Structure 1
Amino acid sequence: MNLLRSVRAVADASGTGVVDWENAATAAKEGTDPGSLDLSRADREGYAGDVRAARDRIRDVSKLSFDVPATAQIQNRHHWIDANVETFRTVMAPIESHASTWFPEFSRIANTGTMSVLLGFLARNVLGQYDPLLLADDPDGDHGLYFVHPNVVEAADALEVDYPRFRRWIAFHEVAHAAEFGAAPWLSEYLESRMEAGVLAMADGELDREAFRELDAAMTAVEGYAELLMDRAFDDTYVDLRRKLDERRRAAGPIARVVRRLLGFGLKRRQYERGSAFFEHVADARGIEAATAAWDGPESLPTSAELDRPDAWIRRVDP
């Protein structure tokens, strides 16, 4: 980690875009300790075993037909930045193409610095990630399953919880997302279309409220159903893990809290809670297999209003 080289990479931002993405990634990596990837054989076997166990348990509980990527990538923080910078670039492309400024060089440096901070912050905090290849050049390619090993180890230590148990919990959560996208091959394209509509409208100086409302409802369903699968499939209790992780985030410093707010982490937590309450109600009322009806097609997703009135959704899709 070298903060001086990080600042220099930002100051040297160049090109014609409003963000120099190559320098943003370089600055993020220079300002972020990559963390150790000195994995023991037990570590590697542990990750692989956790993913297999999660796949088998979630298949059994949900009755969904899905698989996980052939290889789960065990990354350090720099690997994560390299794997995700293109996603940031693609999401920002419509806004970049419409952006104009009186001071392009100064603006490019400021924007490159902002993106490097966001990439570095996420690289230090992401534990695991299932990547359904939203906005990818090759959407038919193999989806990604990542674990940022240094973050998993450090979080388990900071929370004073058993590392293998914590690692297994993260694996179950990410495989639960793999189950959703495996059960709903249309889901990636649907989320991508809602995201693109919202971003394109913003690039034109407008706000497509309906696109963002549909995206929020879909992501709430994605997070909520994953929580349901976690609750029913994980072979241990995890209330303490969730509580300690939330407490750690609330205890973060003021800068971290501001960055989390800018990145929408509060919204993500609300999606977890709202979606979980919706699917728990459905599963308790009709069984977990009834909840999987949400993945029959875009028309089966709960609307924003139905997320707070699950019985209305049940009557609509499972009368």
Structure 2
Amino acid sequence: MNLIDWDFAVTVGSKVAGPGPEVSADEAAAAVVELREGAARSTPLVSEFTGLRTTAGTAPVLVVDRSGWLQANADGFAKILTPIVDKLTEKKGAPSGLSAAIGSRVTGAEVGLLLGFLGSKVLGQFDPFHDPHGRLLLVAPNIVHVEREISADPSDFRLWVCLHEETHRVQFTANPWLGDHLMAQMNAVADTIEPSALLDGLRRGAEAIRGGNASVVDIVSSPEQKEILDRVTGVMSLLEGHADVVMDGVGPSVIPSVAQIRTKFNQRRQGVGTLDKLLRRLLGLDAKMAQYRDGAVFVRHVVDKVGMEQFNAVWTGPETLPSKDEIGDPDAWVARVL
């Protein structure tokens, strides 16, 4: 069963995202070099601050354009959704002609529109599902666009972005079980899916989106799936908050204008314009911003209370990860784990 035409999604997404800001060939080449150097420079800085150790070069660093990011994410989503598609194919309750009813090309266009919007925003991303050890993507056009938009020093801003994204690379490569754990959650979602319920959810979702009352994640989740998503939310809040704490902890020692960058970037995170805010809401990006905020509060509280070395017990295995509730109550995590 082919629910999504991924090639068409990339084509549509590339048109929606556009090429990005105008830069000369020399400027583009210089940005690529500086981002690669920034990622390499960030590795020991992140390791020293966090105490997490990883072998250099375990996961490659790729500096990509918007189309490159779109293709990488289409490949990643295709892999993640494979168990769900397989379950839909296997289950006897799947309505006949499901693929024809939805239309892989239509869903490809819809996914392409969403990826295109995100592809013009994302600065960097660690892909933990790319074999064998993941890969780090730095989206050069978007980084250049934002540094110009907030009038940041280019070298400072690029290193600042690298610190955050390199923290994600270190998180996963120092703790290889993390990627397996997240993939297991995707498989668990697949186990809960019933084709008829999925279609009903999509129908309800269309109405909710038109009314602006829910995000994409909210509208297709059964109680079992919400429980899984709560576990994933706890993990993602930890990862994003930890990366924010690292960039704020390391930044002042190596980035002269870090305070100005943080202030301007936080303002930008709120979104600009009604359409942008609506799309952020529908895509669940408001929740993403909450993950940065709540996760950072969790990490700072625990580290202030017990120190970084004891905090690092969080990376022991799935059982020591904070739940969604514990992200909001870090003392509960300390009591349970430490």
Q: Which amino acid aligns with 2:163?
A: F
1:94 Cα shift? 4.9
- The 1:213/1:150 distance shift into structure 2, 3 A limit, reads same
Match of 1:288 in 2: 308
Q: Which amino acid aligns with 2:318?
A: P
SS at match of 1:125: coil
Query: Tell me, which stretches of 5 or more residues in structure 1 are unaligned?
Result: 1-15
CA distance in 2, matches of 1:60, 1:221: 19
The question of 1:182 aligning with 2:173 is answered: yes
1:112 Cα shift? 2.1
- Percent pairwise identity: 30
The question of 1:25 aligning with 2:21 is answered: no
CA distance in 1, matches of 2:82, 2:52: 35
TM-score of the pair, normalised by structure 2 = 0.79
Match of 2:100 in 1: 104
The question of 1:86 aligning with 2:75 is answered: yes
TM-score of the pair, normalised by structure 1 = 0.83
Residues 281-290 or 233-242, more deviating: 233-242
Contact 2:10 2:112 in 1 (8 A): yes
- The 1:47/1:54 distance shift into structure 2, 3 A limit, reads same
CA distance in 2, matches of 1:48, 1:211: 36
Match of 2:241 in 1: 224
CA distance in 2, matches of 1:299, 1:105: 41
Query: Tell me, which stretches of 5 or more residues in structure 2 are unaligned?
Result: 89-93, 198-221
CA distance in 2, matches of 1:91, 1:262: 21
SS at match of 2:17: coil
Contact 1:224 1:273 in 2 (8 A): yes
- For 1:115-194, list aligned pairs within 5 A: 115-133=111-129, 136=130, 138=131, 141-194=132-185
CA distance in 2, matches of 1:46, 1:177: 19
Aligned equivalent of 1:43, options 22, 25, 31: 31
Structure 1 moving runs of 4+ over 6 Å: none
The question of 1:211 aligning with 2:228 is answered: yes
CA distance in 2, matches of 1:39, 1:207: 53
CA distance in 1, matches of 2:79, 2:263: 34
